Each structure stands twice: as C-alpha cells, then as structure tokens.
C-alpha cells in the first residue's frame, strides 16, 4: 500500500508542471516537469521492488517530439521489467558543458527526490549519443550501462565542428583545439576502467552518422582499453525510422539484464565480437519502391526554363539569389550568391545560433551568435560552407538531370517555383532519416533580378 501511494504521489506532482513544460507529449503515461527551467520527464513502472531504488533508463535526446511513438515498444518492456524512463531537454547542446550541468541536476533530482537508482542505464538515439557520452565520461560511477541506436559519438563527424562550436561558446578553431577534451571517442578511458558495458546498434549504410566514424571507432578503442562492448551492425540500413532500431530485442534484453542486476560484476577484458543484428519484430525490411520519371514535372521545369531565358535577357544576366537553411531547433545559415553578366562574382555566408533563452523571467532573449564571410575574385569558392557558386543556368541543368532519373526507393522529390515561375527547388530527400534529413539537388530560397 505504501509503495502504491508513493508512485501515485509522484504522478500527482504533474499538477505542478511549469507552463513551459506543459506542451511536452510523451508516448506513454508519465510526468513532465522542469529542472533548472529545462523540460524533463519521468515515466514510472506500475510495480518495482519495495524498499529498493527504482532502476531507470536515461533517454536522449529529449528534444521536441522525443521520445516518440516509435520508442513505445521498448519503453513498454522496460516498464514491465520494473524500469523507469527519464530524460531532460537541453536543446542542441552537442554534449557541451552547459548541457552536462543540466544532466547532473536531473540525476541529482531523480536520485535524491524521486527514489531512482544511483546508476542509470543510458539510451542514446542519434545525437543523444553526444549528450549522454559526454556526461558519462565525467560520471562513470553513475552509469550502469550504455546503449545506442545509431548514436553520434564523434563531434567532427556530426554535426561537425563549425555547427557544434556555438553550443560550446567557442569558435571553430577553439573547439578543434580542445576537441579531445569533449569528444566521446577520445573520452572512453574512465568508462573502460569502470567496466561500463556498452551495446550499440548501427547501420552500415548510415550517411548521416557514419558507422566507421562513430560506433566502429568506439568499438575499436573500447576493445583496446579493455572495456566490454557489443556492436550490432545492420546491413543495408541507414539513419532512418526502420522499426528494427526501436524493436531490438537484443537491446532491450541488454538493458533489462544490467538494470535489474543487484550489483555490477566485473566484465572480462575481452570484448565480444561484432555480431549480426536480429530481424525486427513484425516487419520485413524490404527494398522499398522507387518511381519512374515524371514527365509532367519535366514539362513544368521546361516551362520555367523558357520563362528564365526571357527574364535573363531583361536583367542582362545580373541577379542575386539566396539559400537559407535552418534546423527545427533554430540554428542555421544563409548564403547569398551574386551574379553579374551571367557569371558568379561574389558569395556571402552567415551562420547563426539557435535563439538564446531569456536571462531572467520578463527579460528579452539574448542575441543570436553569428559568424560569416564574403568572397570575391580569386577567393571565390574557397570556403567549404554554404551554397556553391553556381548560376541559375547551372541549377536548371542540375534540376533537369534529377528529373530525368527514376526516383530511388525511400526518396521523395521536391519541386518548387517562385511567383515569377522561376526554379527554387528540385531535390530528393531520404524519407527514412529522422533528424534534419539533407536534400540532394537544387534548393534555394529567393531570387532577386537586377534592373
């Protein structure tokens, strides 16, 4: 009776949720609350061993919309085994010290106030790998085990130093110089010394978080350090929403085994070999289906091209176009390409951080951090970032080539024109990629013709 009352009391605290956390939706019944103004959640099992701390899974990233419905299968099995699930939204921290500080605050709160076990089972999905590994490297005594679903383990691989540096309060050069202090692949020694067991499941066709630059490096280095790790490689799969990622019986069994053990046993210095993945529950992976060449879209492009040829004469080949990209959490970049007499003469680039949180209630948010450059003449095209220095004629040729190819399996086609009928976008995008799926092809934002 006392145990039931304790669990009911914890759920009753949901009435005290701060307004900024009220919009958080969970895939299963749980509590949403705040930790140092950051939205957190806790899903409790109906039953657990009386008088004992509650074992728990720490899920990341807890960004908007995550954890999602796809995690339900795993979560239900954790809960049935008496294991809670928790997490906190630290935004796009990329494992930065600020994010780690909030993680420590969540751990302290859950252990001291909510009766959770001192050691958590970490479950990292995609970019959650940076967040959890960076915290775990500094707190190996608080980690029971680590599991990952195509986890990011290498800042240089994803999101890249230039995208991550803002979260660390550094410029790209500074973060690169300090990378070994923050990068998970370089911070495994403390975890290996504590014999923290690790399990990763990762696809060999992952183009967003490449296997060889992330999980495979962790496996190689952890083996060398004597740490116990299983790396399960799924052939033919990439960074996508395939059910096999979220219905991995091997991953679930691994978590339950370590979460419910009363005491950690010393692991053997020899790490298990890489093993093939089991088939997903309830779904054949299948090759997917592509689509034939769309002649209607080709006709639309040709009509737009004729319109462009007419307007190009009127503006005498003088125009500017821009390409803007923004992540759903707010950071991004803008490229401006200037064309004179049908030749690219200038390229300007600016990147910006996500919107800053207000310094205090009622105060305006801080300014976004911005960096950028401009190139002309001999330096044109010298920077790797930004939209390439191409004319609209070259973009039309690129679009024509895309439309003349059958659409590959698991791809969608984007085709868009502006109010003048000029081409803005013609690209393919992998529908299986969960986070900020990149586009391949033409995708610009605005066109301004000269007078």
Residue 423: closest CA among 297, 326, 298, 308:
308
Per-residue pLDDT of 230-240, as tens digits, reads 999 999 999 99
Residue 426, pLDDT above cutoff 60 = yes
- Map tokens 């004319």 to a residue: 391
pLDDT band for 167, please (50, 70, 90 cuts). Answer: very high
Mean pLDDT value across residues 160-174:
92
Alpha carbon of 396 to those of 307, 416, 441: distances in Å? 12, 12, 10
Residue 402, pLDDT above cutoff 70 = yes
- Highest average pLDDT, of 18-27, 134-143, 346-355, comes from 134-143
pLDDT band for 369, please (50, 70, 90 cuts). Answer: confident
pLDDT of residue 282: 34
Strand partners, 414: 427
Residue 88: closest CA among 138, 38, 44:
38
Residue 442, pLDDT above cutoff 50 = yes
pLDDT of residue 359: 53
pLDDT band for 140, please (50, 70, 90 cuts). Answer: very high
For residues 32 and 212, what is the distance between their CA atoms, to the nearest angstrom?
Answer: 37
pLDDT of residue 5: 38
pLDDT of residue 411: 81
DSSP code at position 189: H
Average pLDDT, the chain: 85
pLDDT of residue 43: 97
pLDDT of residue 279: 40
Positive or negative torsion for Cα 47, 51, 52, 55? positive
DSSP code at position 265: P
Mean pLDDT value across residues 171-181:
91
**Pairing verdict, β 38-43 and 84-88:** antiparallel
pLDDT of residue 408: 80
Residue 144, pLDDT above cutoff 80 = yes
For residues 342 and 64, what is the distance between their CA atoms, to the nearest angstrom?
Answer: 44
Assigned token pair, 12: 């009753």
Residues 6+ apart with CB under 8 A from 185: 153, 154, 214, 217, 218, 221
φ and ψ of 284, to 5 deg: -85, 130
φ and ψ of 434, to 5 deg: -85, -35
On whether the CB atoms of residues 26 and 87 are closer than 8 A, the answer is: no
pLDDT band for 6, please (50, 70, 90 cuts). Answer: very low
Task: Collapse the DSSP code of 366 into the 3-class scheme (helix H, G, I; strand E, B; otherwise coil) and give the result.
Answer: coil
For residues 151 and 169, what is the distance between their CA atoms, to the nearest angstrom?
Answer: 23
Q: What length does the chain have?
A: 451
CA 419 to chain CA centroid, Å, is: 34
Peptide bond before 67: cis, by omega within 30 degrees of 0? yes
What pTM, to 2 d.p., does this model score?
Answer: 0.60
pLDDT of residue 385: 84
Per-residue pLDDT of 279-328, as tens digits, reads 443 333 333 456 888 899 999 999 999 999 999 999 999 999 999 877 65
Cβ neighbours of 266 (radius 10 Å): 7
pLDDT of residue 433: 60
Mean pLDDT value across residues 67-82:
95
pLDDT of residue 439: 77
Per-residue pLDDT of 194-214, as tens digits, reads 999 999 999 999 999 999 999
pLDDT of residue 370: 84
Instruction: Indicate the range of 254-258, 300-304, 407-411 predicted with least confidence.
Output: 407-411
DSSP code at position 184: G
pLDDT of residue 96: 95
Per-residue pLDDT of 111-121, as tens digits, reads 999 999 999 99
Residues 6+ apart with CB under 8 A from 361: none
pLDDT band for 364, please (50, 70, 90 cuts). Answer: low
Residue 145's H or E segment, with its range, is strand 143-149
- Highest average pLDDT, of 173-182, 260-269, 270-279, 425-434, comes from 173-182
Instruction: Name the residue ranges covered by the structural domains of the chain.
Output: 2-276, 295-449
Mean pLDDT value across residues 156-171:
93
Per-residue pLDDT of 16-29, as tens digits, reads 444 445 578 999 99
Mean pLDDT value across residues 259-288:
47
Listing DSSP states for 395-422 in one string gives HHHHHHHHHTSPBPTTEEEEEEE-TTS-
On whether the CB atoms of residues 136 and 128 are closer than 8 A, the answer is: no
φ and ψ of 376, to 5 deg: -145, 170
pLDDT band for 435, please (50, 70, 90 cuts). Answer: low
Please determine, looking at this structure, whether the domain spanning 2-276 carries the CATH number 2.170.120.12.
no
């Amino acid at each position: 009776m006392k145990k039931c009352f304790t669990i009911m009391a914890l759920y009753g605290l949901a009435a005290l949720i701060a307004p900024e956390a009220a919009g958080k939706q969970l895939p299963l019944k749980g509590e949403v609350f705040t930790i140092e103004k950051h939205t957190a959640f806790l899903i409790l099992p109906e039953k657990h061993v009386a008088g004992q701390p509650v074992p728990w899974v720490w899920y990341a990233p807890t960004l908007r919309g995550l954890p999602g419905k796809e995690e339900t299968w795993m979560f239900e099995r954790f809960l049935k085994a008496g294991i809670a699930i928790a997490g906190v939204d630290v935004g796009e921290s990329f494992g930065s010290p600020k994010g780690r500080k909030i993680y420590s605050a969540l751990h302290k709160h859950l252990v001291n106030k909510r009766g959770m076990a001192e050691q958590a089972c970490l479950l990292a999905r995609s970019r959650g790998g940076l967040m959890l590994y960076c915290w775990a490297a500094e707190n190996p005594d608080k980690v029971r085990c680590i599991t990952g679903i195509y986890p990011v383990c290498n800042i240089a691989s994803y999101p890249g130093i230039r995208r991550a540096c803002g979260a660390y309060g550094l410029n790209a050069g500074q973060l690169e110089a300090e990378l070994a202090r923050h990068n998970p692949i370089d911070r495994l020694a403390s975890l290996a010394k504590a014999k923290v067991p690790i399990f990763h499941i990762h696809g060999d066709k992952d183009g967003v978080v490449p296997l060889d630059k992330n999980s495979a490096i962790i496996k190689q280095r952890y083996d060398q350090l004597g740490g116990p790790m299983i790396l399960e490689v799924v052939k033919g799969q990439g960074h996508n929403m395939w059910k096999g990622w979220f219905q991995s019986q091997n991953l679930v069994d691994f978590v339950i085994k370590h979460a419910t053990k009363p005491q950690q046993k010393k692991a053997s210095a020899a790490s298990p070999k890489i093993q093939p993945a089991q088939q997903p529950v309830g779904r054949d992976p299948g090759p997917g289906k592509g689509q034939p060449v769309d002649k209607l879209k080709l006709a639309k492009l040709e009509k737009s091209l004729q319109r462009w040829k007419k307007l190009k004469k009127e503006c005498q080949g003088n125009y500017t176009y821009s390409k803007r990209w923004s992540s759903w959490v707010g950071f991004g970049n803008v490229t401006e390409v200037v064309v004179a007499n049908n030749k690219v003469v200038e390229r300007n680039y600016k990147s910006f951080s996500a919107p800053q949180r207000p310094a205090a209630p009622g105060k305006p948010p801080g300014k976004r951090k911005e960096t950028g450059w401009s190139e002309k003449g001999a330096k044109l095209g010298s920077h790797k970032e930004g939209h390439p220095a191409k004319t609209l004629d070259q973009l039309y040729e690129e679009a024509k080539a895309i439309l003349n190819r059958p659409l590959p399996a698991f791809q969608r086609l984007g085709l868009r024109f502006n109010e003048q009928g000029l081409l803005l976008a013609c690209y393919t995008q992998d529908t299986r990629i969960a986070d900020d799926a990149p586009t391949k092809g033409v995708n610009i934002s605005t066109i301004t013709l000269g007078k």
